[in-house]
Structure formats: C-alpha cells, structure tokens
Chains A and B, each alone.
Chain A
Amino acid sequence: MTSAADTDPSPTDIRTDYLAQMRQKRMLNMILLLIFATLMVAGFYTADQRNAGGFWNGWRHILDFPADVVGEAYERAHLLPGYFVKYLPSLLETINIAGAATLIGAMLALVASMLATRGLAPAGWLIAPVRRLLDILRAVPEIVIALVLIFLLGGGPVPAMIAIALHTVGALGKLFSEVNENASLKPVEGLASTGGSWMQQMMLGVVPQVAPNYLSYALLRFEINIRASAILGFVGAGGIGYDLRNTMSWGQGKFDEAAAIFLLLFAAIVIVDQLSSTFRNRLTHGKAYKDKGAVL
C-alpha cells in the first residue's frame, strides 16, 4: 500500500491512498457482513426444514401452551399454595444437588488449579496433563455423564451431583488457575523458607490471596449449576425437573401442578441469582460498591 515510497507523497496522494484504503476496508467489512447474513438466513432455513413443525405454522401456537398452563393455574389458583408445599422438597433436592456439586467441584478445582499453575505446581511435568484433564472435564456436557451414571447407579440425585461436580471441576479449575497466576509468590517463598510443606504453602500462602475471587467464581457456578440440576432432573436424575416432566406428561387439564413447579423454579433461580450477585459485588468491590449488577 506504500506505493510512493521513493518520492515524497503529495497531500492529494495521501488523500487518495487513504480513501482507497478506507474503501478496501469497507468492502471487506461489507463482504464479511454479507457472509454472516447469508449464514444466518441459510442456517435458519435449514433448521426450519429439519424441524418437525415449521416456524411459520408453529409461531401462531407459541402461546397455546403457556396460555393453557396460565389458564389452568388461574382456574385452580386456590390449589397452588398446596402444590408449592408439595414440591418444596423436590426444589430443595435440586438446590442441594447444585450446592453439593459446587462445593465438591470447587474443592477439587482448588487442588487441580494449583497443580495447573506455573510456579505453584509441585512438579512441572504435572501442568500440561492436568490442564488437558480440565479441558476434557469442561468439554463434556453434564447430561452425558449423568445419563451414563443413571444407567450404572439408577435414577436419583447422586448421578446428577457427580455429573455436575465433574463439569464444575473443569470450569472452575481453569478460572481458579487464571486467578492463581496473578497471586504473589512472595508468601509462598516465605513459607517454603520456614520449611512449610506444599500443602501448607498453598493453603496459607496462596488461598488467602485468592479466596475472594474463588468465592465469587464459585457463586457464579452455583447459579449455573442450579439450572443444570433442574435440566438433569428432567432426564431422570431427581429433583424438581423430574417432577416437572411427570406433571407435564399428565397432559391437558392437569397443568396447574406444572404451573406451580414453573413458578417455584423461576422464583428459586431469580432469588439465588440476586443473592449471589449481591455477595459477588461485595467480594470483588467491597461493601460500599453499589449493586451495578456486574457480570463477573
């Protein structure tokens, strides 16, 4: 693009050069945008073709099911409090699955992240394999592990808990090790000089530095895991998702119980999201920080 390197370019040359460059850049952006638009349109067309019911027939019925559910819930609104009480234990189970999985996953991730961080790992050759292991754990969707475990262990909350915990190890392990990389190594060296074991160096030298960030990430994971736990219930792993599938299968005229479960799940997700985002803001910005709803 520097065509006039041997002679001093005149202002008009610079101007035409600049405009040509701009035109080229715009052309490139236009082409990229066009490709993107074509991909989107073609993609939606393909998806529509492959779907059992097409979009153009379906969108008119999109409110049928919600209308049924809301209508039936409204008709038998006096029964809803009873249903809330009835399904509260299931909701608790869903939350417990997420809670236990997050705790177990976070504790394993803590150890794994230390092993995967340069400068903290007790042996250098450990770093690469641990990182690959975390990558794999992160890549496996929870449902895959859960379905296999349901086959082995039977239905119930334990397969879901293990499945979510394993995915959590992968997800948090990576985030934790990113946090570890920013931790100061001086306390670790200090502890090493007094003869502290690796475990002591990590627990006393690193963890206090990174604990707020860890906690913040773990809380975010907990929010995600509640949703995952509800979904896994739907494929047979207990909790409120399992009840939801059962009540849905009873069909029309019985949707009031499904409505109660929808409401419970919605309320649980919103409340946990709010609580955890308040806590996370405190952790990362101190108490004075006003809730701006920061994502991370």
Chain B
Amino acid sequence: MTDVAIYAAADRSLTRKRMFTLAAPAVILAYLTYVFIAFDVAGLADRVSLSNMQTLVSDTYSYKVHVTRDNRDGATSVAIEGERKGEYPEGTAPDWVTLSDTTRVDLANGAFITLGDTTTFDIPGYGTVTATPGRSGVNATFPPGDIPEWINASKNRVAITADGARLTITRNRTEVFRYFYGWELFFFTLDSPFHGKSVTELLSSGQYGAIWSDFWSNKMWRHADVAWALFETVLMAFLGTFGAAMIALPLGFLAAKNFTPLGSLRFAARRVFDFLRGVDGLIWTIVLSRAFGPGPLTGSLAIMLTDTGTFGKIFSEALENVDDKQIEGIASTGAKPLQRYRFGVIPQITPVLLSQVLYYLESNTRSATIIGAITGGGIGLLLTQAIITQKDWEEVSYYIILIILMVMAMDSFSGWLRRRLIQGTGEGTH
C-alpha cells in the first residue's frame, strides 16, 4: 500500500468515527423525544396532583390530632388522625384540650379555640372569629377588614388554616386539627398504661414483659404483623433461590455438552430453561396464584420456577468450563463415575455456583416484595394496602424504609456468606 492509500484509509476511518460520535447522541435524543411525546410528558403538569403530594410529604413527618364536636348533640371527642384506634377514652384529652361544655383548645403561639354552641377562634395579630352553626348554615363574623386568603368562608362551611392547625365548621360538625411532628403512637397506643412515659420511667418500672407485649401488639402500627411480613418476604426469597438451585443443578448437567453427549437431551434441557426464563416471573405468579391462592408459598414457587431457568443456564455454562485434568486425575486413582463427579467436578464449580446463587438471593428479596404486592403476601401486601387507603402515608414511609433496610441487610448477609464459603476466591464474579 502506498502512503496515499494509507492516509485515505485513515481519513475514512476517522470520518466514520466522527459520524458515529455525532450520530449516537442524535439517535438517543430522537428516541427520547419520541418516547416523551408518546408518553405525553408535557401533559404531566396538568395531571400531577399537588394536594396528594402535600398530603404525602406532610404525613411522612407529622401527624394531626382531631378535636371534633358534633353540633347536633354537643358531644366532643379527641382522636389521633381521627382514627378509632387513636381515640382518647371518654372524658380524657391531651393537656392542650380542656373538656367542658365549651371545650377550650390551646394552639401554639397563643391562639386558642373554644368549641361550643358558638365557636370562637382567637388568632393573635388578626382578631377573633366567631361562628354559630345553625339550621340556616354557619353564621360567622370576622374582624373588620378584608378576609385573608387563609380563611375560606361560605354560607355552609368555614375553614381557617392557621399556624400548625386547621379549623373547619359545618352545620353538623366543628373540627379542629392540630399538627405535631413525628409518627403518632409508634411505640404505645393510648389504651396502654405506658403511653407517654419517658425511657427512664419505662426502664425503672421493671415491667419489661408488659412493655414489650404492649409495643408488639400496637394496634396502630402492628409491629408483630410487620415483622412477620418481613420474615415472609425473606422466606420467599430464600426458598425460591435455594429451591431453584437444587433443581437446576442436576438439570444443568443434562444441558452441559461435556456431560451429556446426547444432543437431543441437551437440546430439550436447554429449551426448558429458555421457556422457564422466557415466561417470566409475572406470568408464573399469575398462574400459580390461581392454583395456590395468595401467600408466601405462591411467591416461593414463582421465584423457584423463574430462577430454575436462570440457574440452569448459568450452571450448565459453568459445567462446560470445568477443567478435565482434575476429573482425569480422580479417574486415574480408580474412582467410580459418582466419585469422579463428587471429587472432580463439584469442587471446581461450587465457588461459581454459590456466588451466583447468593447474588440472586439479594435480588430475589426485591422480587419477593414485588410478587407479594401482586399476589398478596409479605411486606409487599402491607405496602399496597397502606397505599390504597391513601391516608396512612407515615406507614407507607415506614414500610419503604423497612424494605430498603431489609434488602440492604440481605445484600450484606449474602456478601458475608459468599466470602465465608468461598475463601480465597475473593468477591465472586459479580
């Protein structure tokens, strides 16, 4: 080749490279534009629910206590989050509520509300709002001047949003919400004698059994159920992963070229693996839940079926890569076929297999959460239930944190086990 030809070839090659570096981002950009138009991302701004977002965020770090007066019979009740499980027993109230014929509610910053036939709301820096719910609606009087935007008044309904509190008056009901930071009743519910006690008081009381059982059976947060659900999810992952490994090992031998000379058998085993993997966990979950109903067994079996395909493929490849010399060495000592497998093959593939299986254990913990959400079982079920109610967002946050911690714990556990069991080979293939 002449110099000219070489230069020309180099130029062509460079031009091609340059074209490619320009074309690749252009193609990506074009594809993303197409997808964004197809998904109507621009219209998302209209669909996004800001009030939902507000509920979600504020519920995550705060809770509210409802003080409710029934305007028909004058009965007043105090309940955390307005739930029956969080209701204060008849005649009792937190110290910022004084129960009487006209209940007085102290809010932060010197504001207070009296609830009676006539409701008054003293707002520092603004004045006193008086409202009398009656047959003709809510008759409210405001301090002179324009009504500010945080007051929403109509004939039948008055709503006032103040600093950390909210007052709503309708003909039937007068309701005060007061907001507090934190998660309500996380340790003890109101019916427990330990509610509101400090840590030192609890420690010095000596009633550890009663304290534990009150905490564990907390009706609001259901710690026992949550712990069991977490266990169920881990159980699904454990049974699915190791069950699949146990089934896939013998099948892997069938699919390996050097162990199964019979082509048709090998072909059949490989197609079984492809089928199990191709059908996918979602479809297996649906099919199995029709037969077994919701629960951890369905999840375990779904993981097991999908992963038998995956493991079968991985195992047969590992088996095809074994070193024949070790098997020949074992055979030269007069070992029978079974002994050749036991001492010539198994020690070679164990590290590879184990590291793969343990790697999948962590990923299957996530799958088990998802399968639980689809069929009903484990922490996935609790999470979907909490989201469907659309009001217990503090529980949703709690479950999300627990799920993240669970997956991370399984990750470190499987990593630790991998290092312990496969000494000398280090981190494994992943």
Interface residues of B (CB under 8 A from A): 28, 31-32, 35-36, 38-41, 44, 47-49, 52-53, 56, 232, 235-236, 238-239, 242-243, 274, 277-283, 286-288, 290-298, 300, 313-314, 317, 320, 366-367, 369-370, 373-374, 376-377, 380, 383-384, 387, 390, 396, 400, 403-404, 407-408, 411, 429
A103 within 8 A of B: yes
Q: Contacts A55-B297, A295-B313 given; 6 further ones with Cβ under 8 A?
A: A47-B232, A50-B297, A64-B290, A147-B383, A151-B52, A262-B283
Taking CB atoms, residues of chain A closer than 8 Å to B291 are 53, 58-59, 61-62, 64-65
For residue A227, CB closer than 8 A to chain B, the reply is yes
A218 to B: closest C-beta gap in Å? 12
Which of A46, A47, A55, A151 gathers the greatest number of chain B CB atoms within 10 Å?
A47
Interface: A157 (CB within 8 A): yes
B47, B53, B366: residue with the most chain A Cβ atoms closer than 10 Å: B366
Q: Which of the residues A62, A142, A248, A273 comes within 8 Å of B370, measured between beta carbons? A: A142
Which residues from chain A contact B403 at a C-beta distance below 8 Å? 139-141, 144
B239 touches A43 (CB 8 A): yes
| Residues in A neighbouring B28, C-beta threshold 8 A | 103
How many residues in A have their beta carbons less than 8 Å from beta carbons of B? Answer: 65
Pair A52/B404 contact, Cβ less than 8 Å: no
**How far, in whole Å, are A49 and B408 apart by their CA atoms in the complex?**
28
- Complex CA distance for A64 and B292, rounded to whole angstroms: 11
Q: How near does chain A come to B66, taking the closest CB pair, in angstroms?
A: 23
Please, how many angstroms separate the alpha-carbon atoms of A104 and B31 in the complex? 11
Is A151 a contact of B47 with CB atoms below 8 Å? no
Decide yes or no whether A276 CB sits under 8 A from chain B.
no
Q: Does A135 contact B (CB under 8 A)?
A: yes
The answer to whether A205 has its CB under 8 Å from any CB of chain B is no
B29 nearest in chain A by CB position: A103
- Choose one: B53, B238, B297; the contact of A48 (CB below 8 Å): B297
Q: B53 contacts which chain A residues (CB < 8 A)?
A: 152
Say whether B294 contacts A52, CB under 8 Å: yes
Contact for B296 among A50, A59, A65, CB less than 8 A:
A50
Contact A153/B396 with A50-B296, A143-B380, A262-B283 known, Cβ cut-off 8 Å: no
Known contacts A61-B291, A64-B291, A139-B407: A235-B383 contact under CB 8 Å: no
B296 and A47 contacting across the interface, CB-CB below 8 Å: yes
Can you list 9 A-B pairs with a CB-CB distance of less than 8 A? Answer: A40-B239, A50-B297, A99-B31, A136-B404, A140-B403, A143-B380, A151-B387, A153-B48, A265-B283
Closest to A226 in B: B280
Q: Find out whether the CB atom of A144 lies under 8 angstroms from the CB atom of B39.
A: no
CA distance A65 to B282 in the complex (A): 15
Measured CB to CB, the nearest residue on chain B to A149 is B48
Partner of B287 from the list A66, A141, A235 (CB cut-off 8 Å) is A66
Partner of A266, one of B38, B235, B279: B279
- Looking at the complex, which one of B52, B232, B317 makes contact with A152 (CB distance below 8 Å)? B52
**Please, which residue of chain A has its CB at the minimum distance from the CB of B427?**
A178
Shortest Cβ gap from A53 to chain B (Å): 4
Contacts of B300 in A (CB 8 A): 43-44, 47
> Is B297 within 8 A of A47, CB to CB?
yes
* Residues A152 and B235 in contact, CB atoms below 8 Å apart: no
Chain A residue with the shortest CB-CB distance to B374: A234
Q: Smallest Cβ distance from B235 to chain A, in angstroms? A: 6
Complex contact A241–B282 (CB within 8 A)? yes
Report the bound CA distance from A59 to B305 in whole Å: 14
Indicate if the CB atoms of B287 and A270 lie closer than 8 Å: no
A101–chain B nearest beta-carbon distance, Å = 10
Report if A103-B277 is in contact (Cβ < 8 Å); known contacts: A44-B300, A144-B383, A144-B400.
no
Q: Give the residues in chain B near A187, CB-CB below 8 Å.
A: none
CA distance A230 to B281 in the complex (A): 10
Q: Are B400 and A46 in contact (CB under 8 A)?
A: no
A126-160 contacts to B (CB < 8 Å): 135-136, 138-144, 147-148, 151-154, 156-158
Find the B residue at minimum CB distance from A223. B277
Q: Is the CB of A52 within 8 A of B293?
A: yes
Contact flags A195-239 to B (C-beta < 8 A → 1, else 0): 000000000000000000000000000000001001100110000
Provide the residues of chain B in CB contact with A51, threshold 8 Å.
292-298, 377
Q: Are B317 and A295 in contact (CB under 8 A)?
A: yes
Kindly list chain A residues whose C-beta atoms are within 8 Å of the C-beta of B40: 156
Asked if B292 and A55 sit within 8 Å, CB to CB, the answer is yes
